[in-house]
């Protein structure tokens, strides 16, 4: 259990700790975060920036927690048959499927390879590779996303996305800012438009073989084959999915694991010495520290303050994904 010594080390009262929780029900969406926001099939998606600036092209995107972590946390929510257009990232992009039935689509037009993913699946998409994702199910789907770096850079869009954006009154400046001419926004004097992605840039983003892409994905039953993580205790099973010893072992700037708590199980944790973020996939999880306790429910994100010893416990069982700074 957490001993009294932790109280002298920390000054985290209940209100301060609650401020580090982003509840699923409190998420503030941006419905015009990107240049494809009005493209047919993409117009109904919602983008969330939970920790860090993310890659949104809309300066009005709401950021829930600004504190630098060495990585970013975001999310996307899409109704059935909604598409996120083909794009590439400069840093790691890792998805946890919270709900819905999805396909990850690879290549300039999304037809080089398609891989399905359901709830509880983790997918780390390599950098410098065209990818998109679609909700192919009958219900609203939610993806929780980790991006590498405090500044994850800008998105490189497939050429067709620029064509569609122009048809629907959207323009992207070369500094990454989105201009919505339908809303009466004008391109600032002296500003330059982002040039459409060139054939040479497209050619540089080759799609790996499907077998290689499948190694980037850990299905819910695949976690049993991954190495154990640092969170241990009776009825607690943590497995590393992104780490030097795990299936996904190339550098991300962070590790990512899944911890499963049986009903009534708990585990103590020493004071965190690096950024650590929890995302509750299923069930409920209590975090107990010297000065209080908070409860996290499915869909909630919590960033652990460094220097705080704590105990995690679940009365009814929980599945939690954990991102730790490398």
pTM for the complete prediction?
A: 0.93
Q: 287: part of which helix (H) or strand (E)?
A: strand 276-289
List, for residues 102-132, the tens digit of each pLDDT value. 999 999 999 999 999 999 999 999 999 999 9
Beta bridge partners of 123: 95, 217
pLDDT score at 301 = 98
Percentage above 90 pLDDT, the chain: 87
Q: 97: part of which helix (H) or strand (E)?
A: strand 93-99
Count of other CB atoms within 10 angstroms of residue 302:
20
CA dist., res. 140 & res. 128, Å (int): 29
Is residue 74 over pLDDT 50? yes
List, for residues 203-238, the tens digit of each pLDDT value. 999 999 999 999 999 999 999 999 999 999 999 999
CA dist., res. 196 & res. 298, Å (int): 40
Q: Burial letters for 5-14: b for 16+ Cβ neighbours within 10 Å, e otherwise? A: ebeeebebee
Is residue 6 over pLDDT 70? no
Confidence of residue 2 (pLDDT cuts 50, 70, 90): very low
Q: What is the average per-residue pLDDT within 158-162?
A: 94
Q: 183: part of which helix (H) or strand (E)?
A: none
pLDDT score at 4 = 37
Is residue 135 over pLDDT 90? yes
CA dist., res. 53 & res. 177, Å (int): 13
Is residue 1 over pLDDT 80? no
List, for residues 141-152, the tens digit of each pLDDT value. 999 999 999 999
Is residue 47 over pLDDT 70? yes
pLDDT score at 11 = 67
On the 0-12 / 13-18 / 19+ scale of CB atoms within 10 A, 51 is buried
């Amino acid at each position: 259990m957490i001993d009294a010594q932790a109280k002298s080390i920390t000054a985290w009262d209940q209100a301060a700790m609650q401020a580090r929780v982003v509840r699923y029900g409190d998420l503030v969406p941006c419905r015009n975060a990107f240049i494809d926001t009005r493209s047919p099939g993409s117009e109904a998606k919602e983008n969330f920036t939970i920790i860090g600036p993310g890659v949104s092209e809309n300066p009005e995107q709401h950021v829930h927690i600004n504190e630098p972590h060495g990585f970013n946390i975001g999310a996307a929510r899409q109704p059935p048959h909604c598409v996120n257009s083909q794009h590439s990232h400069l840093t790691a992009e890792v998805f946890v499927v919270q709900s819905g039935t999805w396909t990850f689509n690879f290549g300039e037009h999304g037809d080089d390879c398609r891989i399905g993913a359901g709830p509880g699946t983790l997918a780390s998409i390599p950098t410098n590779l065209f990818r998109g994702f679609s909700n192919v199910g009958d219900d609203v789907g939610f993806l929780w996303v980790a991006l590498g770096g405090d500044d994850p850079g800008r998105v490189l869009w497939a050429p067709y996305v620029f064509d569609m954006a122009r048809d629907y009154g959207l323009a992207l400046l070369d500094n990454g800012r989105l201009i919505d001419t339908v809303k009466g926004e004008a391109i600032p004097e002296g500003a330059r438009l982002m040039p459409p992605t060139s054939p040479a840039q497209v050619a540089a983003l080759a799609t790996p073989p499907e077998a290689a892409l499948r190694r980037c994905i850990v299905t819910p039953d695949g976690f049993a084959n991954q190495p154990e993580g640092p969170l241990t205790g009776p009825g607690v099973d943590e497995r590393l999915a992104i780490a030097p010893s795990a299936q996904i072992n190339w550098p991300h700037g962070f590790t990512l694991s899944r911890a499963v708590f049986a009903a009534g199980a708990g585990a103590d944790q020493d004071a965190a010495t690096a950024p650590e973020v929890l995302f509750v996939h299923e069930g409920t999880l209590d975090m107990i520290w010297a000065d209080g306790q908070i409860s996290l429910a499915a869909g909630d994100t919590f960033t652990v303050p460094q220097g705080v010893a704590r105990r995690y416990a679940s009365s009814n069982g929980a599945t939690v994904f954990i991102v730790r700074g490398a």
